[in-house]
Chain A
Amino acid sequence: MVRAMEQYLRSGIPSTPFCPGCGHGILLGLVLRSIHALGIDMREMLFVSGIGCAAWIPSPHFNADTLHTTHGRAIAFATGAKLYNPKLRVMVISGDGDLSSIGGNHLIHAARRDIDLKVICANNMIYGMTGGQVAPTTPQGFTTSTTPLGNPERPFDLCKLVEAAGGRYVARYSVTQPLALMESIKKSLSFKGFSFIEVLSPCVTQFGSKNLLESAPKIMEWAMEKCIPREEAEGLSREELEEKIITGEWGDVEDSTD
């Protein structure tokens, strides 16, 4: 299986920069497997990313056109490229801080415009690359290097945000749900219109180490326990739900696949 994916990787790039236990490697593999499964020619793809760990998923690793941009602006760069050459299949892969904090305005406007972009937000709930500062996705109460007494603020529900802004295919999965996530990426790749997938991708080094989840198994177990599918969530009380992250699909994917 690893060999089968090699054709999608740029030659001469020795290894990924991701820490042991990082979820981004899983996501990297799932994106390529989805492209492979659909038989998409990488020459049709353009990958655009911003700044942060997740922005390194496509650049330099993917053997396709890649545009590694400034912090927060990936979607805006992608908008220009896609509008001028609609034949390009444009996928944006970046992090939660990049897409929803500094780039939050571009995210909601691209959803409103319904530009045919496939946006994958690798959410590790923290600023990993810069040393573990609080993000707009950090759950309330969790410790970061800029919230030493616990995060006093509420996090964004990114799927609700994008759906409200007009995103037509919106989904959330965890890297601990690889099969469902891969199906979702495939849907996004076949979807015509703005699609958004929030991928929970735990960060051991920055998020885990500050919140008693200091090993890869511990943080993955935490993610598995915390993420429950929509169907399961229906039977739970409000208090029980507060501790959970609901995964699944939103929007109206049915009306617009290839």
Chain B
Amino acid sequence: MAWKRIKASLPPGRYYLSGNEAVAEGAIAAGCRFYGGYPITPSSETMERMAHRLGQIGGIFVQMEDELSSIAAVIGASWAGAKAMTATSGPGLSLMMENIGYATFTETPCIIVDIQRAGPATGQATRVGSGDIMQAKWGSHGDYQIIAVSPWSVQEMYDGTIRAFNFAERYRVPTFVLGDEAVGHLRETLEIKPWVRVFDRKKSRGRPPFDSKNPRQIPPMPTFGEGETLLVTGSTHDGHGIRRTDDPKVHSRLVRRLNDKILLNQQHIVDTEEFFIEDSVLTVLCYGFTARSALTAVKELREEGHRVGFMRLKTLWPFPHERVAQLSQGVEKIFVPEMNRGPGGRGGHEIQPV
């Protein structure tokens, strides 16, 4: 089995840490041993703590010259066998996009922690925003899937980072920890349990690293230096990595499989949390830090006698279409509070029941 139970990297107990620090501790606990990054507000505390912690345990930390090279180094390290990560914020994420697409196409496990701030452009570097939700999913060109977790607390910055590493290793896909300035800089009680469940990528000598008969199954991932004469390329390739840039069938098979391996495994990935749904006529659908405000508001409304429900997306991508559709059956309206202006650009949007 590729699942294993290991000791947590900190003595068990309660800590008072910031979200960004908790991300670093979660990464170390999950087995991350490579960090490549470039400083950017409001994410830099993760980088600083990783520099310190990886130094203590013999991991590799490198401050790269920019975000393009940061994610490139992370992908290179991943193929050299590392559980590898970077952390950034909106402008840095924009710069990483081409290589994130490369990572999806080469099925490279890696973690991108995005501590969102108010954009566009330089925007308000020290203020909170949720402007990268779409960028995280659609920011690179072509058809691809990624996984994103959306922590709402310091505890989930820790647990969610471990979970993100497990998703990345299990599905061989770039996985996002989509935090924001508020949860990144928030200090909170963090409970560290003695044991952590982690997933390590599967290996299988000689089997094609870029194909599987069943699209639900993830091909094994060999590592550089094991004598497998690996051929890794961002061009369309067959199961052995051989470039096949003129055969539409090879392209179609590869792109379909890369999408299907996430979408057909959704039931193992998607995670939502619901309160007060049974009697609700109106439901608030939310994620991330906004959900903290929303839950408080929903509780206040219920105390006043309003039948309001609450649903939170603990994972944002893939999007839980099915559950949201079910939810919409029983309610008049679903409210979606977000720290962005929504896909319509007009400030919030209402999902009409289907």
Contacts and interface: CB of A to CB of B under 8 A. Distances in A.
Given A12-B242, A59-B233, A70-B98, A65 B228 contact: yes
A80 B77 contact: yes
B277 interface: no
Interface in B77-95: 77-82, 84
B231 A10 contact: yes
B65 interface: yes
B229 A65 contact: yes
A215 to B, nearest CB: 29
B76 interface: yes
A190 interface: no
A157 interface: no
B232 interface: yes
Interface of B: 33-34, 36, 60, 62, 64-66, 68-70, 72-82, 84, 98-99, 102, 224-225, 227-235, 241-243
18 contacts: A10-B231, A44-B225, A65-B225, A66-B233, A67-B76, A68-B233, A70-B102, A70-B234, A79-B73, A79-B76, A80-B36, A80-B72, A80-B77, A80-B82, A83-B73, A84-B77, A88-B224, A109-B69
Give chain A's interface secondary structure class.
mixed
A217 to B, nearest CB: 31
B224 A81 contact: yes
A84 B82 contact: yes
A141 to B, nearest CB: 33
Contacts of A65: 224-225, 228-230
Interface of A: 10, 12-13, 42-44, 46, 48, 59-60, 63-70, 72-73, 75-85, 87-88, 105-106, 109
B95 to A, nearest CB: 11
A12 B229 CA distance: 13
A67 B225 contact: no
B231 A60 contact: yes
A66 B242 CA distance: 11
Contacts of B70: 76
Contact of B68 (A76, A82, A84, A87): A76
A66 B73 CA distance: 15
B66 A80 contact: no
A69 B229 contact: no
A45 to B, nearest CB: 9
The list of the 4 closest CB pairs from A to B, nearest first, reads: A80-B76, A80-B73, A76-B69, A76-B72
Given A59-B233, A66-B231, A79-B64, A87 B75 contact: no
